């Protein structure tokens, strides 16, 4: 090329060079799928600010803006995805473990008080039986024989009272044993879920965005709390029965049934088991409803509302109020006018499921961005 031609083409060459400088630059595409080697100095610098995601073989390398460690990729060059199911199960397990540890530890004092109450009431029942053993109200052949069973003692705690009839001169009174059980259960489950939500849980929910698992964990904790409470009551009744020399036959004794106020003699063992399962499942159902109300109107109002509901259920003889289904004296097996054990169990299970689902929907709209303190 001559000097004249070079002089005439110089402006176009300069413009072409400027266009090349302004054009985006990409690394050369490789002919294999193996990732390019990165120098140690470049890799450490890249890991501090960005991470490299290996692209497909026919595309350029891409730099992601996530400031984390190098993300592995699948053979197609897409970022590898974590297993969502395993992660959710692990997160739910941690939630339930946290609830069991914190919830039960905060209720240790209530468990201790309820244990003392059950022991005192059980010993009171033993004293009544020993007094009846020498009473003229008992037939002569049975006098002097202290007779009672584990079933009589449990019945004594759960018996409740017969429906109130206003036209009679007998005043209405709440059965102490039965109402004490309702109060203890309501106190055990009434405050921890809301307190946990107002404290540590609000931060967890803001980061995880998973309210359903949190609510399900609290629901399972409520169930476990109620079950543990009744297991404690049954264990104390069993211990007192064995210490009194009564044994654990699944039947009712003559004097024991008289002292308990109702005899279960002649009932098949499976009916006795169902009869004692009704208070457990009904308490679970009412406790789940109480937890829903605690988030809607507050723990104190929910507790007071549940106690009022149980009081009205004990006073009114109607199947529209299910609070009295846990009373043995209201069961048709002993001549009561309430629902059968089977129907009571089904109804309790239905109320429990409805409370969990409705509570989850209600909790979905709870504001977790504002942390409230009590």
Among residues 275, 277, 282, the alpha carbon closest in space to that of 328 is found at 275
> Quick one: pLDDT at residue 281?
95
> Quick one: pLDDT at residue 136?
62
> Quick one: pLDDT at residue 137?
59
> Quick one: pLDDT at residue 42?
46
Q: Which residues, in sequence order, are CB contacts of 289 under 8 Å at separation 6+?
A: 306, 351, 355
Which stretches in the chain have pLDDT values below 50? 6, 26-55, 57-83, 140, 370-374
> Quick one: pLDDT at residue 34?
46
> Quick one: pLDDT at residue 265?
73
> Quick one: pLDDT at residue 157?
86
Structure tokens at 259: 């002292």
Among residues 186, 182, 205, 202, the alpha carbon closest in space to that of 194 is found at 202
> Quick one: pLDDT at residue 266?
76
> Quick one: pLDDT at residue 162?
76
As a whole number of angstroms, the distance between CA 358 and CA 374 comes to 25
pTM of the model: 0.71
Q: Which residues, in sequence order, are CB contacts of 324 under 8 Å at separation 6+?
A: 160, 310, 313, 314, 330, 338
> Quick one: pLDDT at residue 63?
45
Q: Which residues, in sequence order, are CB contacts of 56 under 8 Å at separation 6+?
A: 76, 77
Cβ(272)–Cβ(149) under 8 Å? no
């Amino acid at each position: 090329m001559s000097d004249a031609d070079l002089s005439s083409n110089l402006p176009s060459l300069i413009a072409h060079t400027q266009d090349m400088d302004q054009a985006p630059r990409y690394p050369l595409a490789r002919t294999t799928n193996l990732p390019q080697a990165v120098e140690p100095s470049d890799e450490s610098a890249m890991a501090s600010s960005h991470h490299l995601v290996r692209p497909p073989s026919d595309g350029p390398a891409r730099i992601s803006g996530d400031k984390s460690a190098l993300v592995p990729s699948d053979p197609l060059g897409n970022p590898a995805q974590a297993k969502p199911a395993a992660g959710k199960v692990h997160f739910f397990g941690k939630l339930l473990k946290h609830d069991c540890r914190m919830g039960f530890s905060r209720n240790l004092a209530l468990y201790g008080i309820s244990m003392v109450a059950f022991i005192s009431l059980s010993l009171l029942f033993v004293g009544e039986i020993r007094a009846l053993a020498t009473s003229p109200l008992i037939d002569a052949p049975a006098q002097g024989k202290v007779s009672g069973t584990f079933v009589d003692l449990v019945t004594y705690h759960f018996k409740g009272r017969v429906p109130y009839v206003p036209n009679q001169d007998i005043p209405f009174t709440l059965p102490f044993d039965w109402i004490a059980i309702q109060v203890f259960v309501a106190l055990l489950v009434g405050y921890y879920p809301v307190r946990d939500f107002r404290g540590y849980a609000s931060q967890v929910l803001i980061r995880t965005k998973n309210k359903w698992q949190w609510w399900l964990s609290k629901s399972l904790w409520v169930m476990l709390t109620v079950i543990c409470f009744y297991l404690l009551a049954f264990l104390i009744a069993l211990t007192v029965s064995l210490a009194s020399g009564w044994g654990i036959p699944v039947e009712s004794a003559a004097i024991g049934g008289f002292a308990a106020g109702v005899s279960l003699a002649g009932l098949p063992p499976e009916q006795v088991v169902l009869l004692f399962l009704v208070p457990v499942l009904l308490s679970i159902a009412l406790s789940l409803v109480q937890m829903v109300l605690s988030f809607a109107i507050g723990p104190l109002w929910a507790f007071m509302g549940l106690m009022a509901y149980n009081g009205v259920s004990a006073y009114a003889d109607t199947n529209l109020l299910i609070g009295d289904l846990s009373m043995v004296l209201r069961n048709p097996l002993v001549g009561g006018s309430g629902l059968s054990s089977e129907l009571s169990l089904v109804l309790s299970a239905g109320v429990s499921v409805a409370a969990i689902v409705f509570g989850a929907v209600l909790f979905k709209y709870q504001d977790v961005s504002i942390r409230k303190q009590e």
